[in-house]
């Protein structure tokens, strides 16, 4: 089974993916963004755009996930924002056509909630310490500029199942996904402090400097 976790940039996809992996024995996270970063590293900076526009990204994501789903004995988790219907069809749609059990979830939230999460995630916190309160949102300018586009596109029925996350914790979102997919998670034994520390580690591990 593939759990594809969609949503706007800063919507909590990565945190949810690693919460699921932590509590779901045998599961793995396969991040489609890594394919895009590899393509960017091969490309001169002046020629880089949105890597999702590259057919190689869509084909690569499909091929890697197809291989993992075929050969890995466990749930596969893919956190990735995809809002273009054609690109969604070339990735999620093709995997379903290949016979894979793909469960798709769009993490939705109000615009102000997404802005707050962007300002609080790992890079934002680190930069604020050095460069001031507004620096994090400058670094996240692409994400901020695309909030409305992502939220509007993801409301379409083809991007169901939708989960409104404004007032749900990361653990709660993971519980919702697991219940919908018929999966059983290990009990969440984290207290508030331990949970914050764990999420901070996940955020710092996914800081990108290029």
Query: In CATH, what number is assigned to the domain containing residue 35?
Result: 3.40.50.300
Q: What is the structure's pLDDT at 206?
A: 65
Q: What is the pLDDT of residues 123-167, one digit of tens each?
A: 445 444 444 444 444 446 888 999 999 999 999 999 999 999 999
pTM reported for the whole predicted model: 0.86
Beta bridge partners of residue 16, listed in sequence order: none
Locus of tokens 């909030």? 147
Is 73 part of any domain? Answer: yes
Residue 153 domain boundaries: 2-205
Is 121 part of any domain? Answer: yes
Q: What is the structure's pLDDT at 136?
A: 46
**How many separate domains does the chain show?**
1
Residue of 60, 69, 64 whose CA lies nearest to 2: 69
Residue of 82, 37, 74, 69 whose CA lies nearest to 56: 37
Is 54 part of any domain? Answer: yes
Residues of the chain where predicted confidence (pLDDT) is lower than 50: 123-124, 126-139, 209-210
Q: For 136-169, b where at least 16 C-beta lie within 10 A, e where not — what string? A: bbebbeebbebbeebbebbeeeebeebbebeebb
Q: What is the structure's pLDDT at 120?
A: 78
CA 109 to CA 121: how far, in whole Å? 16
Q: Show the CA angle centred on residue 42, arms to residues 37 and 48, nearest 5°.
A: 70
Rounded to whole angstroms, what are the CA distances from 8 to 58, 107, 169?
19, 8, 17
């Amino acid at each position: 089974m593939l759990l594809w976790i969609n949503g706007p940039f800063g919507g909590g996809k990565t945190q949810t993916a690693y919460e699921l992996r932590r509590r779901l024995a045998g599961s793995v996270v396969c991040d489609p963004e890594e394919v895009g970063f590899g393509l960017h590293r091969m490309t001169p900076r002046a020629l880089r755009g949105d890597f999702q526009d590259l057919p190689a990204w869509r084909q690569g994501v499909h091929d890697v996930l197809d291989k993992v789903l075929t050969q890995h004995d466990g749930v596969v988790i893919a956190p990735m924002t995809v809002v273009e219907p054609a690109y969604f069809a070339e990735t999620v749609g093709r995997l379903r056509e290949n016979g894979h059990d793909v469960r798709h979830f769009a993490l939705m939230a109000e615009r102000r909630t997404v802005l707050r999460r962007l300002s609080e995630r790992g890079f934002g916190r680190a930069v604020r310490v050095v460069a001031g309160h507004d620096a994090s949102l400058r670094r996240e300018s692409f994400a901020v500029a695309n909030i409305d586009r992502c939220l509007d596109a993801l409301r379409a029925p083809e991007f169901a199942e939708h989960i409104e996350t404004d007032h749900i914790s990361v653990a709660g979102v993971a519980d919702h996904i697991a219940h919908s997919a018929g999966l059983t998670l290990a009990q969440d034994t984290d207290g508030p402090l331990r949970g914050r520390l764990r999420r901070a580690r996940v955020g710092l591990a996914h800081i990108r400097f290029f």
